[in-house]
């Protein structure tokens, strides 16, 4: 009998809903204060997860949710990278 693997769940910081980790995009803040999108989900640093939805990303930008979670200003390029990640570019 095969064992079922446990699917890791993470919470979207915007919608506060739990999703499988692979269905979210991770934004990372390093100790040096760098901010970047982490498609692998394995880079070092403080991470915040956002669901793969353009409306959610727009809401995160409007409400400054990521900036509050990571305690640093998020440049608009990061939101653009998130949009491109959702659109598959």
Note the pLDDT of residue 89.
58
pTM of the predicted model, to two decimals? 0.89
For the domain spanning 9-87, the CATH number is: 3.30.1230.10
Residue ranges of domains in the chain: 9-87
Note the pLDDT of residue 24.
95
Note the pLDDT of residue 72.
93
Note the pLDDT of residue 4.
87
DSSP 51-77: ES-HHHHHHHHHHTHHHHHHTSPPPHH
In order along the chain (89 residues), what is the average pLDDT of each group of 10 residues? Answer: 87 96 95 93 94 95 94 94 88
Note the pLDDT of residue 82.
95
């Amino acid at each position: 009998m095969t064992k079922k693997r446990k699917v890791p769940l993470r919470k979207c910081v915007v919608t506060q809903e739990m999703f499988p980790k692979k269905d979210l995009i991770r934004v990372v803040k390093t100790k040096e204060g760098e901010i970047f999108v982490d498609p692998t989900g394995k880079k070092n640093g403080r991470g915040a997860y956002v669901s793969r939805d353009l409306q959610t990303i727009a809401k995160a930008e409007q409400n400054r949710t990521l900036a509050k979670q990571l305690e640093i200003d998020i440049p608009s390029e990061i939101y653009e990278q998130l949009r491109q990640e959702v659109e598959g570019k």
